[in-house]
Structure 1
Amino acid sequence: MDKKLAVYICTGCGIGDALDIDALSKVATKEYKVPVCKSHPFLCGAEGVELIKQDMEGEGVNTIVIAACSMRVNYDVFSFPNAIMERVNLREQCVWCHPANDEDTQMLAEDSLRMGIVKAQQSSLPEPFQAENLSKTVLVVGGGLAGLTAAAEATRAGYKTVLVEKNPSLGGWVTRLYKQVGSKPPYSELEDVGISQLIKEVEGNSNITVYKGAQIEKISGAPGMFDVQIKQNGNLATERVGSIVLATGAVAYDATKLSHLGFGQYPNVITGEMFEEMAARGEFKRPSDGKEVKSVAFILCAGSRDKEHLPYCSAICCTESLKQALYVKEKDPEATVYIFYKDMRAAGNYEFLYQRVQKEGALFFRGEVAGIEEDGGNLVVEFDDVLVGDRIRTEPVDLVVLATGMVPTTAIGERLIVQADEQGKESEPPADEIIKSNILNLEYRQGPEVPTLKYGFADSHFICFPYETRRTGIYAAGSVRAPMDIPSTIKDATGAALKAIQCIELTAQGSAVHPRVWDLSYPEFFMQRCTQCKRCTVECPFGAINEDEKANPLPNPTRCRRCGTCMGACPERIISFKNYSVPMIGGMVKAIEVPEEDEEKPRILVFACENDAYPALDMAGINRLTISPWVRIIPVRCLGSMNLIWIADALSKGIDGILLLGCKHGDDYQCHFVKGSELASYRLSKISETLNRLALESDRVRMEQVSIMDYDRIPQIIEDFASRLEEVGPNPYKGF
């Protein structure tokens, strides 16, 4: 498109009082020959917006630079169809965190405007990717409580659903319960399990196709166009779906591994599931001799919160054991019930259940079970009591019930060996990477199942994006995602179904899904320069790029989340977006004016992740925290998109230091794009030697991990870096 650029400078919110607006305008009109440059005291008001619209209609303006507040606010106000839009942050990151009418503040504002104009000049209007033959059907894998709820809720919202369950009947774990914990006042009464009505609703709904006794043979394709092969009774059925809800649940921890608690050694040590079967039969009899049970010891956290078994809390053990204690007391009020626990986790309305069990006469002991011994068919529990501070032994009991923990189905299976490298060497993938669990059987280069967190749960950025996995369009729900009780499972499945629907609708519009919702851009490949290095396919966190037989990248745009990690990975720089590219950011770097060495005005370039670091910088400004005037900030989609050429551009320009501010990464990868921050750190480690060889100290480039709540640390992080640069001295390339 033929661009007509216009710059609009807001003078409200203290901007006009702190800056020389005329000098700022000259940057646009004199340096960059921008034909339209106007200022307004209230640009986000109706009059200011109308000013822009009139210029679009009357002057043909189609490329707009708004120099005002942060891009994170008023984005709905400054929304103009069919126009390229660029925001320059003069408020939060300039006048609100720097002294008014100061030379350095003015220089910062002018550099910010230069960078904004260059970016607008080099941007193109995104054209959404439009796939053909898109499906708006939701596939739900797993027919337990989570799967049934997800299928029912998606259908109620008007979307057809395909439900696949491996067992011959629906309902899963919940159908094996005798009773469930009360879900309504007074919450202390047990209720009949109500899943039969939900099963009836799902099986009787013509918009839900149910496959029972079936498994997923293969899933190929991408969001909007997943092709699913389902094997049932030896037959193969094919369904095209738009998104997937993974709801395969969890299984009980293998109690045979708990030999120290007597399971498998003593017949009268059983699991909670076995006790539910007894309750359903209406009688509690010892497995060893059929004697009626008059005393029971419930051992909570049997394998959970134990570094030798399951390090995490399994969420339902406490309340399930309290419920089962009531089974015993309701049948025989005189029966003796012991409950051994580490911590009683019965929060919220479960407190009423806990209080009732106390009133019924159950005996509670806090601490660690040391062992179990048999005494003439009866069992004695040895226990290190935290409250008494001593080891105690119980009176002999008839039965011991172990509350075993919860293991997600995604953690069951064998580890895969990844593809051989170029030297033919095979290697074991990291524990959180690839598990063959035979659930989804995805045709992805990165493996057939969704990657998992360190405990084997289907991965999810649980703080900002619950349900999503590292495979776009596939959402985890229920206990396959995290240990949870029945009410939480119902809410979780509903949320996952809504996310799956959102994915379907956004994909149909050509838009990205979380976190860059409404982003219509997608990566484009200039294949003539591709060297088949595989960096883009290997480093993409979301499996958005496959390979053909010659190792050429095969992008799947509807899988892409537009993080730009592939762009940062490519050494040939052949990957770009219409509104985000390596040359574009390089042009912004080169637009910064670097003072001569004798002016003693160093420059620090900050590449700030737009998810956490950039908002943290905004919050520092909102709280009027003073930031070094040396900084020049460029927001990036993710530090994973950072191409090392930008560092070379900055240093050759004379920039004294480069600070990368990105999300935190780790086992629960709070990096919004999973691996971006980690990849940036890894890439950065590779250039230290090169910098030292060029007589450019590696200290000139630093990376810091910050969360959005670290805004109060931002000024000190920058100040510490600036102090180090003063010790190192000016960039020797300054002035060249």
Structure 2
Amino acid sequence: MEKNVGVYICTGCGIDQLDIEKIKGVVENEFKITPKVHKALCSREGVEMIKEDIKNGVNAVVICGCSPRVKQDVFNFGKDIITVRVNLREDVVWSHDIDEHAQELAEDYVRMGIVQAQKTELPEPYLEETSKDILVVGGGVTGLTAALECAKAGYKVYLVEKESELGGWVRKFKKILPGKFPYREPVDAESYINEKINEVMNNENITVYTSTKIKSISGQPGMFNVVVDREGNEEVFKVGAIVVATGWKPYDPTKLSNLGYGLPGVVTNIELEQMIKEGKLEVDGKAVKDVAFILCAGQRDPEHIPYCSTVCCLTSLKQALCIREMNKDANVFVFYKDLRTVGIYEEFYKQAQQDEGIFLTKGEVKSITQNGDKLRVEVTNTLLGEDITVDVDMVVLVTGMLSSMYGLYTVKEEYPDEGEPPYSHIKPAVPKEVAFENRGKEWILNLQYRQGPELPTLKYAFPDSHYICFPYESRRTGIYPAGCVRAPMTIRDCELDARGAALKAIQTVELVAKGATIFPRTGDIDYPNFFLQRCTQCKRCTEECPFGALDEDEKGTPQPNPLRCRRCGICFGACPEKIISFKQYSVDMISSMIKSISVPSEEGKLRILVFACENDAYPAIDMAAKNGLKFSPLVRIIPVRCLGSVNVVFIADAMSKGIDGVLMLGCKFGEDYQCHFIRGSELANRRMENVKETLNRLFIEPERVKIVQVEISDWPKIPEIINSFVEEIQKIGPNPYKGF
């Protein structure tokens, strides 16, 4: 489109401390644009002034005022108008003493903003005929709840359950944890689950498939093609989003021989649940009176399950109360590492604590041995300050919860011989040999993605997402794990989780129908374009995309699935041939912004470029400014979608321009990663080897480029991070290309 750029300078919020006439001069002399100045562009009068110019032909608006992170609704002039925000408030007047350096900084930001507007094109959404139907995989509490919530909102639901009946684990329970105030009394499981099942079966928006497995899922959000196998008969349907509610499975108790598993009377909490359901507490036909619970059996143990399953303590208390209800003379001993009754269940804990037949103490199990027709449990390091020995009829090993995805071959990048770093933060939950034994036997989704057939998982085999900012997400756009498949949780928490996942699924089908993406760039219709004529089939983009947005043909040419894309730009940063670009975020745009910076030739006037992740680092810079913290005016900040979107060419362009140093601020990576785009900052760090090669070719010190991990809460550290890098560059000295 032909651009008619309008430049508007706000003088409010202290911006009038700058020499506005000089800024106007830059705009007029260098870009031949007559800017307009207003004391408050965000006021009604200021906005009306801009709208009047739009009526008269302005189609690209450059707002020189406050941060692009604020007042987005005020400066939204519609989808046909390009709007660029120049941050003079936070990035200049609030974070610097006003002097010639700050003036030069403001002028550079205005230059960069105008060039950005000139290089930006209006995005066009990727529009195809999409489905708003939703697939729910799993017919337990989570799946039933998710299906009901979607159906109540008016969406058609396909509910697929591999077993012959709905209900999941709850069908095997006699009682479940209380769900209503005051949360003291266990609830009858059968009436609870039957009510939910009946509601599903009677809902005309829900089609139920039992005894059914998913044979394959291909396509992308809004266009998922699902093939199911229903007792040997194939059926095909299309859905827009998927909720995965396949639940959990118990830990293998045969690995707990050290706790006596295999001895008569040593059972798991799951086996005990079945006995309670049947109303028979027996060992070898003899009634059980005295029972010992060993909590955290194989849990919080690096040799078994390193994590806490959160629900087991509560379940043990419920089972203890059930035993006491079945036999008033029973004695129940509960030995725990820590008794954790999470959430709303303090009163439930007190209910069990006050039962005279239930004995609770912290301690470590020393041994469990056969003692005649009894089992002897020896416990040390107890709260009583002395060792305890009890003889009981039954020992219950309270084993933990594993995701139903545990043991599955999930993504090929999990294993070193199939994928090199940057996958170092993903550690396989089970050895590769075990996963391959299960290959195809127990797969859940059977995704037809180049990256693998299942959802990528964390090292404990729970589906991988940004666990802080959007826990319902997976690394497969439009597919949402919920309930115990993604984390151990109670039945009531599964219901809440299901509702959250249902809302995300609904959001997805509505957004993709408009060609827009989901979190974190929710509503963005700009998707990457590939100039495949110049593609060298290096596969960097297909291998590095965290969301499986790219398949590839037999030659390795990327096959984009635009509706899987999250618009992070990691593929854009990966491509050595620069063939990938967005309408609003291109290599040409960023390179042109870098080249627009005025680099002085005078000694001592350094210029340093900062690429700041828009999700954490850039907000942290804004927050530092808002809190009155100041940092060097020698830096110029360019917000980027993700540090992984920084192409090596940007650094080469900066050095060629005479920029003295490049600081890259991105999210934390490694095992405790916090990148909104999963591994973007880690990829940027990995690419530093390529950066060093580029700098060596230019005969430039590699120390001129640095990556620092920043989370949003690190805003008090921003001045130190920036200023210390400036000092490092000052010691190295000016870029030898300066002045060329």
* TM-score normalised by length of structure 2: 0.95
C-alpha displacement of 1:557: 0.4
Task: State how far apart, in whole Å, the 1-side matches of 2:28 and 2:173 are.
Answer: 74
Residue 195 of structure 1 aligns with which residue?
193
Residue 80 of structure 1 aligns with which residue?
77
In structure 2, relative to structure 1, the CA distance for the partners of 1:645 and 1:384 (3 Å cut) is same
Matched, 1:336 2:331: yes
Task: State how far apart, in whole Å, the 2-side matches of 1:706 and 1:298 are.
Answer: 45
Matched, 1:135 2:140: no
Task: State how far apart, in whole Å, the 2-side matches of 1:668 and 1:164 are.
Answer: 34
What letter is aligned with 1:408?
S
**Aligned 8 A contact 1:472 1:561 in 2:** yes
Matched, 1:144 2:140: yes
Residue 177 of structure 2 aligns with which residue?
181
C-alpha displacement of 1:402: 1.4
C-alpha displacement of 1:420: 12
Within 5 A, what are the aligned runs for 1:424-443? 431-432=427-428, 436=439, 437-443=442-448
Residue aligned with 2:629, SS: coil
Residue 154 of structure 2 aligns with which residue?
158
Residue aligned with 1:302, SS: coil
What letter is aligned with 1:716?
E
**Aligned 8 A contact 1:511 1:519 in 2:** yes
C-alpha displacement of 1:329: 2.0
C-alpha displacement of 1:26: 1.5
Among 48, 51, 54, the residue aligned to 1:53: 51
C-alpha displacement of 1:115: 0.5
Bigger shift: 366-375 or 325-334? 325-334
Residue 31 of structure 1 aligns with which residue?
30
Among 674, 677, 684, the residue aligned to 1:673: 677
Task: State how far apart, in whole Å, the 2-side matches of 1:447 and 1:562 are.
Answer: 21
Matched, 1:624 2:631: no
Task: State how far apart, in whole Å, the 1-side matches of 2:403 and 2:471 are.
Answer: 16
Within 5 A, what are the aligned runs for 1:591-606? 591-598=596-603, 600-606=604-610
Residue aligned with 2:282, SS: coil
**Aligned 8 A contact 2:338 2:362 in 1:** yes
Residue 115 of structure 2 aligns with which residue?
118
In structure 2, relative to structure 1, the CA distance for the partners of 1:550 and 1:688 (3 Å cut) is closer
Matched, 1:505 2:500: no
Residue 716 of structure 2 aligns with which residue?
712
**Aligned 8 A contact 1:225 1:240 in 2:** yes
Among 637, 651, 661, the residue aligned to 1:657: 661
Task: State how far apart, in whole Å, the 1-side matches of 2:622 and 2:411 are.
Answer: 44
Q: Across the two proteins, how many residue pairs are aligned to each other?
A: 723
Bigger shift: 450-459 or 433-442? 433-442
Matched, 1:213 2:208: no
What letter is aligned with 2:340?
R
Matched, 1:296 2:295: no
Task: State how far apart, in whole Å, the 1-side matches of 2:645 and 2:500 are.
Answer: 30
Matched, 1:723 2:722: no
Residue 481 of structure 1 aligns with which residue?
486
C-alpha displacement of 1:406: 0.3
Residue aligned with 2:332, SS: strand
Task: State how far apart, in whole Å, the 2-side matches of 1:484 and 1:497 are.
Answer: 17
Task: State how far apart, in whole Å, the 2-side matches of 1:220 and 1:166 are.
Answer: 20
C-alpha displacement of 1:182: 1.4
Residue 95 of structure 2 aligns with which residue?
97
Residue aligned with 1:118, SS: helix
**Aligned 8 A contact 2:247 2:483 in 1:** yes
5+ residue gaps, structure 1: none
What letter is aligned with 1:30?
N
Task: State how far apart, in whole Å, the 2-side matches of 1:639 and 1:389 are.
Answer: 54
Residue aligned with 2:610, SS: strand
The one-character-per-residue Cα deviations of 1:655-681 (angstroms, maximum 9, x if unpaired) are: 111000001123353100011111100
Matched, 1:385 2:373: no
The one-character-per-residue Cα deviations of 1:556-611 (angstroms, maximum 9, x if unpaired) are: 1000010111111111101000110111100000111111142x121110000000
Task: State how far apart, in whole Å, the 1-side matches of 2:363 and 2:74 are.
Answer: 58
What letter is aligned with 2:313?
C
What letter is aligned with 1:571?
P
In structure 2, relative to structure 1, the CA distance for the partners of 1:418 and 1:618 (3 Å cut) is closer
What letter is aligned with 2:622?
D
Residue aligned with 1:452, SS: coil
C-alpha displacement of 1:451: 0.4
C-alpha displacement of 1:689: 4.4
C-alpha displacement of 1:415: 7.0
In structure 2, relative to structure 1, the CA distance for the partners of 1:219 and 1:13 (3 Å cut) is same
Residue 375 of structure 1 aligns with which residue?
371
What letter is aligned with 2:560?
P
Matched, 1:168 2:164: yes
Task: State how far apart, in whole Å, the 2-side matches of 1:106 and 1:628 are.
Answer: 13
C-alpha displacement of 1:498: 0.5
Task: State how far apart, in whole Å, the 1-side matches of 2:105 and 2:411 are.
Answer: 52
**Aligned 8 A contact 1:597 1:730 in 2:** no
Task: State how far apart, in whole Å, the 2-side matches of 1:375 and 1:686 are.
Answer: 67
Residue 320 of structure 2 aligns with which residue?
325
C-alpha displacement of 1:686: 2.9
Residue 204 of structure 1 aligns with which residue?
202
The one-character-per-residue Cα deviations of 1:363-419 (angstroms, maximum 9, x if unpaired) are: 1121322221110121111222253455x2422111111111000011133577679
What letter is aligned with 1:253?
Y
The one-character-per-residue Cα deviations of 1:478-531 (angstroms, maximum 9, x if unpaired) are: 010111111111000000010001011110111111110121110011122111
**Aligned 8 A contact 2:125 2:526 in 1:** yes
Residue aligned with 2:246, SS: coil
Task: State how far apart, in whole Å, the 2-side matches of 1:87 and 1:2 are.
Answer: 20
Aligned CA-pair RMSD: 1.8
Residue 461 of structure 2 aligns with which residue?
456
The one-character-per-residue Cα deviations of 1:219-267 (angstroms, maximum 9, x if unpaired) are: 0100000000000110000010000001101011111111111112x12
Matched, 1:404 2:402: no
Residue aligned with 2:216, SS: strand
Task: State how far apart, in whole Å, the 1-side matches of 2:184 and 2:319 are.
Answer: 13
**Aligned 8 A contact 1:453 1:668 in 2:** no
Within 5 A, what are the aligned runs for 1:220-369? 220-264=218-262, 266-286=263-283, 288=284, 290-361=285-356, 362-369=358-365
C-alpha displacement of 1:277: 1.5
The one-character-per-residue Cα deviations of 1:10-55 (angstroms, maximum 9, x if unpaired) are: 1111111x21111111211211112x41111111111111111111
Task: State how far apart, in whole Å, the 2-side matches of 1:526 and 1:722 are.
Answer: 38
In structure 2, relative to structure 1, the CA distance for the partners of 1:375 and 1:294 (3 Å cut) is same
**Aligned 8 A contact 2:411 2:454 in 1:** no
In structure 2, relative to structure 1, the CA distance for the partners of 1:660 and 1:427 (3 Å cut) is closer
The one-character-per-residue Cα deviations of 1:409-451 (angstroms, maximum 9, x if unpaired) are: 1113357767999xxx866986359965510000000001110
In structure 2, relative to structure 1, the CA distance for the partners of 1:414 and 1:648 (3 Å cut) is closer
Within 5 A, what are the aligned runs for 1:531-610? 531-598=536-603, 600-610=604-614
Residue aligned with 1:76, SS: coil
Residue aligned with 2:513, SS: helix
5+ residue gaps, structure 2: none
Task: State how far apart, in whole Å, the 1-side matches of 2:546 and 2:468 are.
Answer: 18
C-alpha displacement of 1:283: 3.0
Identity of aligned residues (%): 56
